[in-house]
Structure 1
Amino acid sequence: MEKGAGQKGIALTDRQRLAWLRLIRSDNVGPATFRDLINHFGSAELALEALPELSRRGGSTRPVRVASREDALAELEFASRFGGRFIGIGEPDYPSALRHIEGAPPLLAVKGDISALHQPAIGIVGARNCSVAGAKFAAMIARDVGRAGYTIVSGFARGIDTAAHRASLNTGTVAVLAGGLDKPYPPENEPLISELLDANGLLLSEMPFGWEPRAKDFPRRNRLIAGIALGLVVTEAAARSGSLITARYAGNFGRLVFAVPGSPLDPRSEGANSLIKDGAALITGATDVIEAMAPLTQMNLFSPQQISEPIIEDERAMSLPPSETDRDSIITGLGPAPIEIDDLIRHTGLPPQSVYLVLLELDLAGRLYRHPGGRISLALD
């Protein structure tokens, strides 16, 4: 299978990239809110101007923090000195499979060989305290699947992740970090970074430079692994592990999930064995993965015609804010139980743009919870 030649897309101007970075670094602006803000206001610059008023109308008791131009410029300059850069979701180098998932990051920080993102990817994850046999098997899968034309994606952790990255240095590997690109974890894997960057590897993160990874950042990293990859291989995963979180994301994204069977007496195999019982494909070699992935590759999922609409700035998009009566009707329709936004629109009978604007106000005021599947609920006071 030949490597892809990259994708068509719309390149951000330097001014847009700066505004995008400021917007995603502002308080209470996640990927979904970012997209809704640009859809409503037409550009990141106009959205930035509106953040304080939106937050006030949403009921915030304190001013929302809007990332300053100086801070964003400093991060861009640091990224450049570090040898990294930011890729926007509508740009050619953004991972094709990732842009399809719910809540795809508007901006990714990357450093290394960008061609690793131009071919279909397989994720390999597993136990940090893996066995020698588990590490050897993961390396074999990574090496053979890499030779078949796939990039190997993993989370840079000890054990299985490290084995997968090392085995795919010559064919293309992507290390997805939980912290900033300049804050790799664990520290003992820092020598691997030099090896990875000297070969065909790439570092990738959605977190700011200087960000020390916290426990809750690792599931976010796992979501990126599952989103970039078209298939995921799980080796030696315990019953309660980050690998199973990655597998759950992969299943929700419609990816193929593969699991390596292990001894029922080894706790490190309990999670992988349970995935098999729940319907994951049992594999005993790289051929199983390559043959299962072949139909997806033949479907040409990386064709530009298959890519979902990127975030496109259009300053004609802005609409007038709803009346106080309409705003009250929308808020009254919300509660602590997650609901579909379409149900809220039908319930209120209001134009979708009015509903989305009030949801943005609540979100920026910290009064809205976003749940998987695009559902929402009102935060209790």
Structure 2
Amino acid sequence: MFDGTPEMELAPEERRARLRLARSARIGPVTFHEALAHFGSARAACTTLATVAEASIEREEAALAAQAGRFLVFGDAHYPAALAALPDAPPVLSALGDPAWLARPMLAIVGARDASLAGRRFAADLATSLGASGFVIASGLARGIDAAAHEASLETGTVAVLACGVDQVYPPHHAALQAAIAERGLILSEAPLGAPPTARAFPRRNRIVSGLSAGVVVIEAAERSGSLITAQRAAEQGREVFVVPGSPMDPRYAGSNGLIRDGAILVRDSNDILSVLGRPSTVRQAPENAKEIPGDEASARIVQALGAVPTAVDELVRRCQVSAAAVSEVLMALELEGRLERHRGNRVSLI
């Protein structure tokens, strides 16, 4: 873990001036960098512009230190180099955890909050495989795909970027996961301590997730998904955009499939990502759920009739021309093997 010893490239006075400038009203990331370019330094800018009081910065810095956190100021040695190259790089980031993770190659995994069980499992498998290949996994700590990716990469390195202050827990039921990431990975936020999540903060958060990463992997993005904003920012930042395809009949993949149509890289497994990034591919293995369930011809028809798109159980009975009891037995066997997901309206799909 980071031992608390500052390794700054900035003079202390300039670093404190950048904090004051970054936390001042009407000073966003672009204005911050314009002010640095115009005045030559934050110290010079603070003598001319109306900036936040020194005491306010001292209080926030002390409160952050009390949580074993620290500021990463634009120009600091620990400030992520991938972000520093962006024209709207965050002037300051609050950090809880180990900033050393920022020196490692990083990939983002993002997707639907109401993700399917299959989508969450794929995200976890992908995060595990990419972590084993040396990548830290970045995401936004949202429900669904984000959470699955974070949980699977706790051992190999994960960075969560928040749309609120690092002292806030959002969503509330992720308190344990957020604490685990702060202890074993890294929590980052551009927002001041105490700041609640707001609608405008999420797109700003998304640009940090993509900016930290060599590429962004999108899983289950609907037509107006926030993940599409992350993918758009990734493309603007010169990052690769990888997308897991899905059925055109599933609205959770409408945005994802649109990205592929527009030129994003289709992903079947981690090898499709590693090959683009010039990393050695892992050996392809057949998934554990590839085995067939033992049974008669009727059971085989039922399994073959199932797919990734949810299907009504009554329709399976009609299509396969078997009894409801036979269908129920096969579905139960699939469910016990972890191969079946149940949906509303008595519908089921294969994982």
Per the normalisation by structure 1, the TM-score is 0.70
Q: 1:17 aligns with which of 15, 18, 29?
A: 15
Rounded Cα–Cα distance in structure 1 between residues aligned with 2:103 and 2:60: 26
Sort the Cα spacing of 1:227 and 1:48 in 2 relative to 1 into closer, same or farther, 3 A: same
Q: 2:175 aligns with which of 174, 186, 190?
A: 190
Rounded Cα–Cα distance in structure 1 between residues aligned with 2:77 and 2:15: 14
1:322-380 residue CA offsets vs partner (Å, 9 max, x unmatched): xxxxxxxxxxxxxxxxxxxxxxxxxxxxxxxxxxxxxxxxxxxxxxxxxxxxxxxxxxx
Rounded Cα–Cα distance in structure 2 between residues aligned with 1:45 and 1:280: 43
* 1:250 alignment partner in structure 2: 234
- Once the 2 structures are TM-superposed, how far is the Cα of residue 255 of structure 1 from its aligned partner? 0.7
Point out the structure with max Rg over C-alpha. Answer: 2
- Once the 2 structures are TM-superposed, how far is the Cα of residue 167 of structure 1 from its aligned partner? 0.4
Matched, 1:80 2:78: no
Percent of paired sites with the same residue:
47
Aligned Cα root-mean-square deviation (Å): 1.6
Rounded Cα–Cα distance in structure 1 between residues aligned with 2:117 and 2:127: 15
Q: Which moved more, 1:98-107 or 1:12-21?
A: 12-21
SS in 1 for 2:241: strand
Unaligned runs of 5+ in 1: 1-8, 53-65, 297-381
Q: Map 1:218-237 onto structure 2 (within 5 A).
A: 218-237=202-221
Q: Which moved more, 1:74-83 or 1:12-21?
A: 12-21
Rounded Cα–Cα distance in structure 1 between residues aligned with 2:63 and 2:11: 18
Q: 1:151 touches 1:173 (CA, 8 Å); kept in 2?
A: yes
* 1:60 alignment partner in structure 2: none
Q: 1:261 aligns with which of 241, 245, 250?
A: 245
* 2:31 alignment partner in structure 1: 33
Rounded Cα–Cα distance in structure 2 between residues aligned with 1:218 and 1:98: 17
* 1:365 alignment partner in structure 2: none
- Once the 2 structures are TM-superposed, how far is the Cα of residue 197 of structure 1 from its aligned partner? 2.8
Q: 2:13 touches 2:43 (CA, 8 Å); kept in 1?
A: no
Q: 1:141 touches 1:286 (CA, 8 Å); kept in 2?
A: yes
Matched, 1:283 2:267: yes
Tell me which amino acid in the other structure corresponds to 2:37: N
Q: 2:110 touches 2:218 (CA, 8 Å); kept in 1?
A: yes
Q: Map 1:80-229 onto structure 2 (within 5 A).
A: 80-199=65-184, 201-229=185-213
- Once the 2 structures are TM-superposed, how far is the Cα of residue 97 of structure 1 from its aligned partner? 1.3
SS in 2 for 1:124: strand
- Once the 2 structures are TM-superposed, how far is the Cα of residue 10 of structure 1 from its aligned partner? 5.3
* 1:332 alignment partner in structure 2: none
Structure ranking higher on relative contact order (CA contacts 8 Å, 6+ apart):
1
- Once the 2 structures are TM-superposed, how far is the Cα of residue 284 of structure 1 from its aligned partner? 0.6
- Once the 2 structures are TM-superposed, how far is the Cα of residue 295 of structure 1 from its aligned partner? 6.9
SS in 1 for 2:81: coil
Tell me which amino acid in the other structure corresponds to 1:49: T
Q: What stretches of structure 1 move > 6 A for 4+ residues in a row?
A: none
Rounded Cα–Cα distance in structure 2 between residues aligned with 1:16 and 1:45: 6
Tell me which amino acid in the other structure corresponds to 1:280: A
Q: 1:32 touches 1:103 (CA, 8 Å); kept in 2?
A: yes
1:210-268 residue CA offsets vs partner (Å, 9 max, x unmatched): 10010110000001011001111000011001000000000111111000011111111
- Once the 2 structures are TM-superposed, how far is the Cα of residue 26 of structure 1 from its aligned partner? 1.1
Q: 1:18 touches 1:73 (CA, 8 Å); kept in 2?
A: no
- Once the 2 structures are TM-superposed, how far is the Cα of residue 109 of structure 1 from its aligned partner? 1.0
SS in 2 for 1:87: strand
Q: 1:177 touches 1:184 (CA, 8 Å); kept in 2?
A: no
1:104-162 residue CA offsets vs partner (Å, 9 max, x unmatched): 01211111122211111100000000000000000011110011011100000000000
